[in-house]
Amino acid sequence: MSTIISQTSKYSDEELCRLAASGNRDAEETLVKRYLRMVRVCARPYFLAGGDSEDLIQEATFGLLKAVREFDSGHDAKFKTFAEVCIRNRIRSAVATASRCKYAPLNDSVPFEPPMLGSGASPEELYISREEEAERLSKLDQKLSPLERKIMALFLYGLSYREISEQVGRPIKSVDNAIQRIRRKVAGDFGVISES
């Protein structure tokens, strides 16, 4: 099977989508592996009080699978763009569903990303939103130590705890502790109630 996957890895994303649409599971698997980092990057900015980040990663992966199965190369969009939209939509949908009532702890997610242009917001709303985001990040930046700032940047970039540990030269437990401190500071700044 690894020979087949290595053969499919030489194809473009769009070619792999065509193969996957015709039932080639190796092409689908290759695309999923190719975009796992994007899945983590898209899911990471959401902090869920009382939730598990693995739940969001799983939802994001479902979004990626939807993109692989529904991509239409007849449109002018590249697969990467379509995949990112599907992944982010699935995450937002999962957070919205969870926030309705049954999953109250998931209600307090805090995204660090700016709203997408196609979200229906006016240019003024987008500008104000970006200004507010910059102000929140500036306040948070003042509360973080240099190590915490570096760890947060690597975490939001999508690196695993082990990769962050290697980058900053600290034990994994130290990285985990720093991320927990960052989450508490984010929760304090944005009024998110953390469940311990």
Helix axes 53-70, 25-34, angle to 10 degrees: 130
Taking only the tens place, the pLDDT of each residue in 142-184 is 888 889 888 888 888 788 888 999 999 999 999 989 888 888 8
The highest-level CATH class for domain 121-191 is mainly alpha
Banded model confidence at residue 190, pLDDT cuts 50, 70, 90: low
Q: Which two tokens stand for residue 153?
A: 């940047």
Cα angle for residues 20, 42, 144 (degrees, 5° grid): 160
Average pLDDT rounded to a whole number, residues 79-101: 80
Q: Do domains 1-111 and 121-191 have the same CATH topology?
A: no
Q: 1-111 domain in CATH 3.30.1360.120? A: no
Q: How far is CA 128 from the centre of its chain?
A: 23
pLDDT at 98 (0 to 100): 67
Which phi and psi (to 5°) does residue 116 adopt? -75, 150
Domain ranges of the chain: 1-111, 121-191
**Is a pLDDT exceeding 60 seen at residue 115?**
no
Q: How far apart are CA 82 and CA 88, in angstroms?
A: 10
Banded model confidence at residue 107, pLDDT cuts 50, 70, 90: very low
pLDDT at 171 (0 to 100): 92
Give percent above pLDDT 90 in the chain.
Answer: 7
Q: How far is CA 48 from the centre of its chain?
A: 13
Q: pTM value? A: 0.50
Number of residues that this document lists for the chain: 196
